[in-house]
Homo-oligomer: A and B are copies of this chain.
Amino acid sequence: MTVAIPQHIALAYDFPVIFTRRVFDPGNPVLADVLARAGEGPHKVGVVLDAGLAAADPTLPARVAAYAAAHSRLLTLVEAPLVVPGGEMAKADFAVVEAVWELTFRAKLCRQSFVLAIGGGAVLDAAGFGAATAHRGVRLLRLPSTVLAQNDAGVGVKNGINYFGRKNYLGTFAPPYAVINDHALLATLPAREIRAGLAEAVKVALVRDALFFTRLQELAPRLGVLDDEALLETDIRCAEAHLQHIAGGGDPFELGSARPLDFGHWAAHALEEATGGALRHGEAVAVGVALDTLYSSRLGLLAPAEAEAVLTLLTDLGLAVWHPALAALDMAGAIEAFREHLGGRLHLCLLAGIGRRLEVHEVDLPRLDAARQDLAARAASACA
């Protein structure tokens, strides 16, 4: 006796990713419009704020409060912003997640209320995990405040914290209610963080958008000096490419093992670990992208001139394509760790052209090592 009932559940999520400037100017309608979409207010909003951002931009809490006062028909701040450690510390343990749970409990936030998280990708990840698990999901408004968070980390559907010493060991897939990228928030961001974020733009252009790559080449002289308009255009286009990949890539919640947006990331993750975080994620991605580009070329998949163009662009953006830690890296071990992280069979994304990705399932270690030597040689000659 066996009876099987097939269950089929279809879900759709819709959320806007909005680019604006000075979101908390009382006259800026963006946040109010987003809340109005949720029906009659006032809606309860609990704010979680990145301490690094708060330190760099000390009037921010007052601006948030002024905005709430000006739009009191739509939103009620349940309390003063909860300031939490910024950067990877936010994800190092349960402290931020627990603080968000306590906030939702204290302020009686329900599944129709909002957590408004303002900060870098790390704070968004930790606060997002907290919001996604309280009441099985309180609505999350993300206000990313770094280039990387505005063009990549903050626009997707993932959250997480580190555990057992592993990046993002715990987390969920949970689409936000809305993402609001306030370009003016980047004014306080150190140049190094801005450049690091640009590495993801190069990455996403390489795996899916040759025209964007060409545009990045055109913009490179202005991006190299962190021209504001060029940065905004790049961020919008980069976010759009990530969004399109998530929506149209056929696997938004990553049930399979393929992860083209992780191009260059196996080495990046290993370098971040090896340097104990001294390399920023985007900086590590620049090296990883350079390595897998040269490896694609060594395998005969990518024309040498195209590989050269990639390395030139990264360099023009002020990104180093080499780091001494790469010389010492156990590449076979790093690839294996990446395979384990994705689960199942190895899926490695390589390039068959600019904007044309290719999945491979094994690694030619001698050729990979040759690619590494190529990078090392370039670095040596650049120093000479």
Interface stretch among A165-173, A294-302, A305-313? A165-173
Known contacts A7-B17, A10-B12, A136 near B160 by CB under 8 Å: yes
Cβ of A331 under 8 Å from chain B? no
Known contacts A135-B343, A136-B158, A172-B136, A16 near B5 by CB under 8 Å: yes
Cβ of A319 under 8 Å from chain B? no
Of B1, B7, B239, B255, the residue contacting A21 (CB under 8 A) is: B1
Residues of B within 8 A of A247 (CB): 7-10
CB pair B172 A341 closer than 8 Å: no
- Assembly CA distance A19 to B1 (angstroms): 8
CB pair A169 B105 closer than 8 Å: yes
- Assembly CA distance A251 to B343 (angstroms): 31
- Assembly CA distance A110 to B259 (angstroms): 15
Residues of B within 8 A of A239 (CB): 5
Cβ of A322 under 8 Å from chain B? no
CB pair A6 B16 closer than 8 Å: yes
Task: With CB as the reference atom, state the residue of chain B lying closest to A157.
Answer: B9
Cβ of A285 under 8 Å from chain B? no
Known contacts A12-B9, A341-B110, A168 near B252 by CB under 8 Å: no
Residues of B within 8 A of A133 (CB): 133, 170-172
Known contacts A5-B243, A136-B173, A137-B173, A11 near B11 by CB under 8 Å: yes
CB pair B105 A342 closer than 8 Å: no
Residues of B within 8 A of A19 (CB): 1-5
- Assembly CA distance A239 to B110 (angstroms): 28
A residues 128-145 with Cβ under 8 Å of B? 132-137
- Assembly CA distance A255 to B135 (angstroms): 11
What are 13 of the A-B contact pairs (CB < 8 Å)?
Answer: A2-B19, A4-B17, A5-B239, A7-B14, A7-B17, A7-B247, A8-B13, A9-B14, A9-B252, A10-B12, A11-B11, A11-B12, A172-B174
Given contacts A2-B20, A4-B18, A9-B252, 11 further A-B contacts (CB under 8 A): A1-B20, A2-B18, A2-B19, A6-B14, A7-B175, A7-B246, A10-B12, A10-B252, A111-B255, A136-B158, A172-B172
